[in-house]
Amino acid sequence: MTAGPAVLDTPSRRRAGAGLRGIATVDAQEVDRSARLAQMRSGELGSVHSWELVTAVDGPGTRLTVFLSGCPLRCLYCHNPDTLAMKDGEPVLAEDLLARVARYRRVFAATGGGLTLSGGEVLMQPAFAARVLRGAKRLGVHTTLDTSGFLGANATDAMLDDTDLVLLDIKAGDEETYRRVTGRSLAPTLRFGRRLAERQVKVWVRFVLVPGLTDDPANVAAVASHAARIEAVRPGTVERVEVLPFHQMARDKWAELGRTYELGDTPPPTPAATEAVRDVFRAHGLTTY
């Protein structure tokens, strides 16, 4: 299967949501620390950075994308470095977040959209994510997880049963490059991808193309092979691949946070180079944008 290029407001181009307008937050001073921890363990309370409504991003239709705080990876090209620390999010009750989701049910129904949990890394807060996903399914809302898969073991079978789609970010295809990009190991992501296929959860694979970092032909070929192997476990699992060209939209965020940004001089890939990488995935029979 093949597909021509699509215009995507890619994660490497956009910022995280503008804030938590319209969603109540918990006054941390009114709840003692032990009570807050108990609520987080039960999934009643989560650390949330922001939310936004987006179209043609983060899954099908119009999405309410919620950015959770906390991430175990330290990706060199991270476009949301302000979501890396869980402590920097705002405490939000799952029921208050679901009240916001409920307000947009008609929009979701009209556009084929729904709720996307992103980050940071959603699976840093599995109990909260599971409670929100369960609540969204009870509302009849399509659900999506945007994840690196590194913490895939944190996703229970019940959570995956409440997940309609996973945006699986395969950041590199070989162990050495993956560690260079993220500081972590590739293997958990690959295990999670196989598990998604075995449980018949639909997947959109994402791969960020960064010149001088992830664009080596051997690395690209390895990512394509990993995606094809997930698809082979249960044909129809990988609905699409999105090759996302690197951009410099996050550079100011890194500077504001006082973090060293190693990719400050890295140019975006050319359209021709991006399309050539897409062709590598298409050669494996994967619908690719």
Extract the runs of DSSP E, i.e. beta strands, from 90-130: 90-93, 114-118
Domains of the chain listed by start with CATH number = 28-282 (3.20.20.70)
Let me know: does 143 contact 182? Beta carbons within 8 Å.
no
Nearest to 122 by CA among 185, 27, 49, 202: 49
pLDDT value, residue 29: 56
pLDDT value, residue 3: 37
Tokens standing for 240? 């699409």
pLDDT value, residue 67: 96
- Collect the ranges in the chain with pLDDT lower than 50: 1-15
- Say which DSSP state 154 is in: G
The pTM (predicted TM-score) of the whole model is: 0.90
pLDDT value, residue 27: 64
pLDDT value, residue 15: 43
Q: What is the dihedral of CA 209, 212, 214, 215, to 10 degrees?
A: 70
pLDDT value, residue 22: 61
pLDDT value, residue 38: 87
Q: Up-side HSE of residue 148: CA atoms within 13 Å toward CB?
A: 26
Let me know: does 167 contact 147? Beta carbons within 8 Å.
yes
